[in-house]
Amino acid sequence: MWRLSDEQRAFREHLREVVLDEVRPRVREIDERCDYPHDIHETLAREGFFALAVPIEDGGRGETEVSFCAFVEELAKVSGTVSLMAAYVKLVSLPILLAGSEDQKREFLPPLVAGERYGSYALTEPRVGSDPAALETTAELHGDVWVLNGQKRFIGNAGHSDTYVVFARTGDRGAKGISAFIVDGQAPGVTVEALRTMGMPGWRLGAPRFEDVEVPASRILGREGDGFKIAMMTFDRSRPTVAAQAVGVAQGAIDLALDYAARREAFGQPLLAHQGIQFKLAGMETDVAAARALTFQAATFVDEQEPRMTKVSAMAKLFASDVAMRVTTEAVQVLGGNGYLKDFPAERMMRDAKVLQIYEGANEIQRMVVARQMARQAQGRDPVWPECMPDAAEVAPANVGGRA
């Protein structure tokens, strides 16, 4: 059972105050200008939020995944964009924590968690998204330098990142031919095309190109050929964070819809007095509570290194992001015409929720992950109902009364 300590709850309350005082007044401006809010990035770094998910020995605060998800939810209630700041520090830190050498950890993690450097996780490509084993970016070893060539797409923070974790092909086709590298974002040959997004305003999304980019041999993560494994291990541990973002966005939409329904009148009484609105809000609240429970179950599995982590993390990301899309759409409906106006944050929340169903593995891929894990589970255990198995049915006695 997941629990926050008194200290963690106190930090969450402090974070909530920071978000309400310094983030909420800026969300409309961020949405309209679509500029990355560097000052808010600096505030979160100063408050120590980026350091939460990194071990103390690597320059962080060593918080649990459960507490990190609780903190991300608080950010996402007000701004999906700001919650992405924390999510990306974690996403870039994870492969270095999982496969980096001690020298690599000392060099790259402290600046990331201190907010002094921006990071990007560069896996997706123009022709390769849901099938990362087919990626086409290449890395060739020339002496003691790897030379990268290729293009990535839909990469967060691209354009102002100092540190890229780049996945490239170093061997034959397939998963075993992929390696991971730490690449200097300012290196010669790195260029970035900016992409405009439907939601998450201010979030810098881009398509970086690598043309004869030289990477020292010391910047490979793990061993040659470990890249695909590193990417999948990272996703197992980062998907609960996406689920927490989804829970936060959805809870923020419920809070907005509930306050509006309590104050807006229709037919001589508040909207909240109408059963149709009551049932709608009750369903939204129940869905988000279920998504939160699954999210923290996945986070607990990450903390405990539970073997079912892969399946439950995929389930949490899948369910919570679908809930966020559904709940934010319903929130727009509760607000009626005002929900469609940019003067109210409901439509922004709906736009923000959409990408949660897509990045870090589209939800169709999450269903495949869950199903494959279930198949492995079935193959590795005795049948729960052995008498119902095909081989048992062949020798089972006839049914009494001749009924099938």
Question: Which sign, positive or negative, has the C-alpha torsion 63, 294, 15, 77?
Answer: positive
H-assigned helices in 336-396 = 346-356, 363-379, 390-393
Contacts of 92 (CB under 8 A, 6+ apart): 112, 119, 120, 121, 163, 165
H-assigned helices in 179-274 = 227-263
- Residue 125 CA neighbour count, 13 Å, CB half: 19
Please identify which of the residues 22, 360, 364, 394 carries the catalytic annotation. Answer: 360
Contacts of 176 (CB under 8 A, 6+ apart): 225, 228
Which of the residues in the chain have pLDDT under 70? Answer: 1, 391-404
Q: What is the pLDDT of residue 237?
A: 96
Phi, then psi, of 345 in degrees rounded to 5 = -80, 0
Is 360 designated active site?
yes
H-assigned helices in 142-226 = none
Neighbours of 99 (CB within 10 A): 20
The full set of domains in the chain, from first to last, is 6-117 (1.10.540.10), 120-227 (2.40.110.10), 229-379 (1.20.140.10)
DSSP classification of residue 267: T
Pick from 41, 183, 60, 39: nearest CA to 121: 183
- Residue the block writes with tokens 């408050």: 47
- Residue the block writes with tokens 């990450």: 302
Q: What tokens does 221 get?
A: 């993560």
Helices 38-46 and 80-99: crossing angle, nearest 10°?
60
Q: What is the pLDDT of residue 401?
A: 45
Q: What is the pTM (predicted TM-score) of this model?
A: 0.93
pLDDT in tens, 92-126: 999 999 999 999 999 999 999 999 999 999 999 99
In 3-75, DSSP assigns E strands to none
Q: What share of the chain is helix, strand, coil (3-state, %, to 5)?
A: 60, 15, 25
Residues 96 and 110: their CA atoms lie apart, in Å, by 12
**Three-state secondary structure call for residue 270:** strand
Tell me the pairing of strands 265-266 and 269-270.
antiparallel
Tell me the pairing of strands 205-216 and 145-151.
antiparallel
Bridge partners, residue 216, by sequence = 145
DSSP codes, 384-395: SSGGGSHHHHTT
